[in-house]
Amino acid sequence: MPALAPNDLFTILPALLLSLFGCALLVLRFDSPSFPVLLLTAAEALAAAALWRQSGFLGLTGFSGAILIDSFGLLLNTVCLAAALLVAWGAYAHLARLGEDHPEFYSLLLLAQAGMFLMIAGTELITVFIGLELSGICLYTLTGFHRDNPRSSEAALKYVLLGAFSSGLLLYGFSLLYGLSGSTHYPVIARALASHSPSEPIILLAVVPLVLGLLFKVAAAPLHLWAPDAYDGAPTPATAFLATAGKAASFGLLLRLLVGPLHDLRPAWDGLILFAALASLTLGNLSALTQSSAKRLLAWSSIGHSGYLLLGLVAANRSGIEAILLYLLVYTLMTAGAFLLLAGLDREGITDFRGLLWRHPGVSLLLVILLVSLAGLPPTAGFIAKYTIFLSLLQAQKFALAVVAALYVAVSLYFYFRLLREIITPSGPTPPTLTLSTGWRAAVGLAALLSLTLGLYPEPILAWARSTLP
């Protein structure tokens, strides 16, 4: 085993900082209830600084190739960082109302994010698996964080059981990859697999469980069944984190594997991904149509979004990967914003939104922006995100897929507008009360404003996504 070099530590510096602060939050006790949020903000600021410092050392590897610093990873890590910050700011008032206002929530956010860092930056099977489990355990706990609520515990249990099952599948695939190549490092695996044909049974035996495990993690149909329940049962801020950072990190892992060592075996996993994309689009969008709870509606729609994201991979070209990264960035902003907005309300039924426009015009405006962006209409960032996915599909000459994807935009429009319709309908029975804190205002306001401004001037994020691929 080679000695630990300072370079190694530098490559995981953001994760180190995050876990340090995460553990500190567990140990320290505070009198001021807002102190954990401040500490988390400080941790994220330091992590952001570390990420920025790392951006000057692209291509650096640590732990003999287990960690790779590249702009792809930096972008996704920034997405996770933004999600954690928004969630932490928006969570405080909601947790206080539930009576679950404990510093552990923020600690779990930080630790989960540290795990996500390893998932995204890791280029070695064991490393990414450790990251996956670290973030997974934190996310399970976050899902069950509302201990007095049986639905929350039920959701957590479901998530743990199915999560463990999918980790098993993933590990099964990993072990066969190790058996085939004799190494856990991506570059070595890639070289070893080059001599295999995609139709060999052993390759299929390794690739299929692996891809299925990954599809579970990104909540894509037909392995999505945990997602609506977990998203619905978890405390809403935890849902916001789960649906955004959790998905971004899982996509990081999925892309690194499928576009990296498994790239030449494309025929072995191509069909699976295509099927999952279409199934997610169909099930996610159609099931969202009939929901009566806004939270479940958003949960189902996030499965639909997984479908769009996977289409970028189906396109099998450079612009498809760029589109996925851009989509994840925008998706995180709008989904975190929308879930956090729900967290500010004390009820979640769609009809509870009736007349919101007259009682809370400012909040309604933010919700309108977020919903319009989720539906993918111009001039919001959601349009640019969907648009880049279409662009990559058309560039790959997959016209039929583009048409199908476009039709589902119309479907999704219908259910997002069900919510809009309620907002603009006057006079509900009893209005939901809003619990607004400064942090909540900052988080939701920032998410909505960025969703709008990045739609009006998307050049920075387009250029950023473009610069991530060599």
Partner 1 sequence: MITLLLLPALGALALFAFPRRLAWFGSLTLAAATLLAAATVPVDAVERYRWLPSLGAQLLFVNDGISYLLIVLTALMTLLGLLASPAQPRLFHAMLLLLSAGCHGVFLSRDLLVFFICFEAVLIPMYFLIGIYGAEDRRRAALKFFLFTLAGSIALLLGILTLYFEHARHTGLFTFEFAPLLATPLPLSLERIVFWAFFLGFAIKIPMFPFHSWLPDAHTQAPTAASVLLAAVLLKMGTYGFVRFSLPLLPRASLDSSLLLALSVFAILYGGWLCLAQTDWKRLIAYSSISHLGFCTLGIFSLNAPGLTGALLQQINHGISTGLLFLLMGFAYDRRHTRLIADYGGLSKSMPGFAAVFMVALLGSIGLPLLNGFTGEFTILRGAFAAQPLAAALALIGIILAAGYMLSLYRHTMLGAVRHPVNLTLPDLNPREWLIVTPLLVWSVAIGIYPAPYFALLSRPVEQILERLHP
Binding site for partner 1 (CB under 8 A): 357, 361, 372, 377-379, 383, 387, 390-391, 394-395, 399, 402-403, 406-407, 409-410, 413-414, 417, 420-421, 424-425, 457-459, 462-463, 466
Cα(400)–Cα(278) distance, rounded to whole angstroms? 12
Number of residues written out for the chain: 470
- Measured from the CB atom, the residue of 50 and 297 that comes closer to partner 1 is 297
Q: What is the DSSP string of 273-309?
A: HHHHHHHHHHHHHHHHHT-SBHHHHHHHHHHHHHHHH
Q: Which is nearer to partner 1, 345 or 389 (CB)?
A: 389
Residue number with CB closer to partner 1 (253 or 461): 461
- Taking the complex as a whole, the smallest distance from the CB of residue 341 to partner 1 amounts, in Å, to 18
**Whole-number minimum distance, CB 77 to partner 1, in Å?**
22
What's the burial of 330, exposed, middle or buried (CB within 10 Å: 0-12/13-18/19+)?
Answer: buried
CB of 426 to partner 1, least distance (A): 8
- Cβ of residue 395: shortest distance to partner 1, in angstroms? 6
> Residue 365 Cβ, how far from partner 1 at the closest point, in Å?
9
Quick one: 379 or 428, whose CB is closer to partner 1?
379
Quickly tell me which residue has 């490393």 as its tokens.
Answer: 127
Minimum separation from the CB atom of position 304 to partner 1 (A): 16
Q: What is the 3-state secondary structure (H, E, C) of 444-457?
A: HHHHHHHHHHHHHC
Q: Are 127 and 118 in contact (CB under 8 A)?
A: yes
Rounded alpha-carbon distances, angstroms, from residue 163 to 76, 92, 157, 468: 22, 27, 10, 30
Nearer to partner 1, 72 or 383 (CB): 383
User: By C-beta, is 28 or 407 nearer to partner 1?
Assistant: 407
**Which of residues 124 and 422 has its CB atom nearest to partner 1 in the complex?**
422
**In the complex, least distance from residue 410 CB atom to partner 1, rounded to whole angstroms:** 6
Give 46's contacts (C-beta < 8 A, 6+ positions apart).
17, 21
Closest by CA position to 366, among listed 435, 296, 443 = 443
